[in-house]
Structure 1
Amino acid sequence: MLQTTEFALLRRVAAEQAEGRAPSLVAAVVRGADVLWTGARGQVDGAAPTADTQYRIGSITKTFIAVLVMRLRDEGRLDLNDPLDKHVVGTPYGHLTIAQLLSHTGGMTSEAPGPWWERSVGTDWPALLDQVDETVLKHRAGARFHYSNIGYGTLGQLVAELRGTSWLDALNTEILAPLGMSRTTPMPEAPAARGWAVHPYADVLLPEPAPDTGAMAPAGQLWSTANDLARWLRFIAGDSGTVLHPDTVEEMRAPAVVDDAATWTSGYGLGFQVWRDSGRRLAGHSGSMPGFVAYAVVDPATTTGALTFANSTSGVGVTALGNDLLKLVDDYEPALPAEWRPLTEASPDLLALTGSWFWGPSPFVLRLMAGGWVELRPASGGGRGSRFRPTGAGEWIGLDGYYAGETLKLHHHTDGTVSHFDLATFVFTRTPYDPKAPIPGGLDDGGWRPGD
Structure 2
Amino acid sequence: MPAHLDWHAASTTAEAFARQWAENEPGGAVIGFDESGIRFWHARGVESLSTLTPFSADSVVRYASVTKHFFCAMVLQHEDAINLDDRLGQHLPELASPLADVTVGQALDMSGGLPDTRECLSLLGLSVYTETEAAPLLAFLARLRRLNFDAGHEVSYSNTGYRLVEAALERRGFAFDDFIQKDVAGPLGVTFNAPDVWNDPVEGLVPGYWHNGDRWQLSAAGLHISASGSLTGSANALTVWLQALMRGQGHFEGVLEKLQATRLLADGRPSGYSLGLRLSTLGKRSFVGHGGSHPGYKTYFLIDPESRSGFVVVSNREDTNGHKIALESLAALTGLPLPTPAAGIPDGLYVTEQGPWWLEIKGSVCTYLDADDTLYDDGDGWVSSRSASSPMRLRLEGSALVGEAGHAARRFLPVTDKQAVETFLAGTWQSTEWAEFEVRDDAVVMGVGPVRHTMPLTALGNGRYLFTLHDGPWTKRVCLHVLDDNRVELVLNRARMMEYRRRG
TM-score w.r.t. the length of structure 1 is 0.63
1:311 counterpart residue number: 316
Q: 1:146 to 1:308 in 2, by over 3 A?
A: same
For the residues of structure 2 that align with 1:144 and 1:3, how far apart are their CA atoms? 41
Matches within 5 A, 1:28-427: 28-44=31-47, 45-73=51-79, 76-92=80-96, 93-112=99-118, 113-114=120-121, 119-125=129-135, 127-130=137-140, 132-162=142-172, 164-186=173-195, 189-200=202-213, 202=214, 204-209=215-220, 213-214=223-224, 216-237=225-246, 239-246=247-254, 248-256=255-263, 267-313=272-318, 315-331=319-335
Q: 1:417 maps to which residue?
A: none
Deviation at 1:59, TM superposition (A): 0.5
CA distance in 2, matches of 1:62, 1:147: 12
- Percent identity for Structure 1 against Structure 2: 22
Give the superposition deviation at 1:302: 0.7
Aligned equivalents of 1:106 and 1:329: distance in 2? 36
Q: 1:8 deviation in Å?
A: 4.1
Amino acid at match of 1:271: G
Distance 1:180 1:240, change over 3 A: farther
Contact conserved, 2:62 with 2:232, CA < 8 A, in 1?
yes
For 1:23, the aligned partner's letter is P
* Residues 257 and 268 in structure 1, CA contact (< 8 A), matched pair in contact too: no
Secondary structure of 1:94's counterpart equals helix
Tell me how far apart the structure 1 counterparts of residues 128 and 307 of structure 2 sit (CA, whole Å): 35
In structure 2, relative to structure 1, the CA distance for the partners of 1:274 and 1:188 (3 Å cut) is farther
Given that residues 27 and 307 in structure 1 are in contact (C-alpha distance below 8 angstroms), is that contact kept between their aligned partners in structure 2?
A: yes
Q: Deviations over 1:118-168 (max 9, x none)?
A: 644331235532454234512101011121111111111122123x14222
Within 2, Cα distance between the matches of 1:132 and 1:177?
36
Q: Secondary structure at the match of 2:78?
A: helix
**1:254 maps to amino acid:** A
SS at match of 2:226: helix
- String of CA shifts for 1:10-29, please: whole Å, max 9, x gaps: 123214x36xx962121101
| CA-based RMSD | 2.9
Match of 2:30 in 1: 27
Amino acid at match of 2:263: A
The 3-state SS of whatever aligns with 1:63 is helix
- More helix, by proportion: 1
Q: Secondary structure at the match of 1:267?
A: coil
CA contact (8 A) 1:185 1:224 kept: no
Residue type of the partner of 1:281?
A: S
| Change over 3 Å in CA distance of 1:117–1:235 after alignment to 2 | farther
Please say if residues 307 and 322 of structure 1, whose CA atoms lie closer than 8 Å, have aligned partners that are also in contact: yes
Say if 1:160 and 1:123 are closer, same or farther in 2 by CA, change over 3 A. same
The SS at the match of 1:192 is coil
Q: Separation in 2 of the partners of 1:251 and 1:24?
A: 34
Q: What letter is aligned with 1:209?
A: A
Distance 1:188 1:305 in 2: 31
> Does structure 1 conserve the Cα–Cα contact (< 8 Å) formed by 2:280 and 2:286?
yes
The more displaced of 129-138 and 139-148 is: 129-138
Distance 1:14 1:48 in 2: 13
Q: Quote how far apart the aligned CAs of 1:6 are.
A: 3.8
Q: Check conservation: 1:280, 1:299, Cα contact below 8 A.
A: no
CA drift at 1:244: 3.9
* Residue type of the alignment partner of 1:25: G
The structure where strand makes up a greater share of residues is 2
Q: Secondary structure in 1 aligned to 2:272?
A: strand
| Aligned-partner Cα distance in 2 for 1:132–1:234 | 39
* Long gaps (5+) in structure 1: 333-452
The 1-side partners of 2:7 and 2:152 are apart by 48
Q: How many residues align?
A: 315
* Other-structure match for 1:355: none
CA distance in 2, matches of 1:270, 1:228: 21
The structure 1 segments of at least 4 consecutive aligned residues displaced by more than 4 Å after TM superposition are 1-5, 115-118
Q: 1:36 deviation in Å?
A: 1.1
* Matched position secondary structure for 2:32: strand
Question: What one-letter code is carried by the residue in structure 2 that aligns with 1:24?
Answer: G
In structure 2, distance between residues paired with 1:157 and 1:297: 29
CA, structure 1 residues 285+8, in 2 after alignment: closer, same or farther (shift >3 Å)? Answer: closer
Question: TM-score scaled to structure 2, two decimals?
Answer: 0.57
Alpha-carbon shift at residue 47 of structure 1 (Å)? 2.7
Aligned pair in 2 of structure 1 residues 182, 150: CA closer, same or farther (>3 Å)?
Answer: same
Contact 2:279 2:288 in 1 (8 A): yes
Structure 1 counterpart SS, 2:171: helix
- Of 283-292 and 190-199, the range deviating more from structure 2: 190-199
Residues 297 and 184 of structure 1, relative CA distance in 2, 3 Å threshold: farther
The answer to whether the 8 Å contact 1:58/1:221 transfers is yes
Cα shift readout 1:87-145 (whole Å, capped 9, x = no counterpart)? 22211222111111111111111234435686443312355324542345121010111
Matched residues in 2 for 1:3 and 1:130: separation? 51
Quick one: distance in 2 between partners of 1:28 and 1:257?
32
Work out which of the two has the higher radius of gyration on C-alpha atoms and give 1 or 2: 1
Taking the aligned partners of 1:29 and 1:188, their CA distance within structure 2 comes to: 30
Distance of 2:301 and 2:10 partners within structure 1: 20
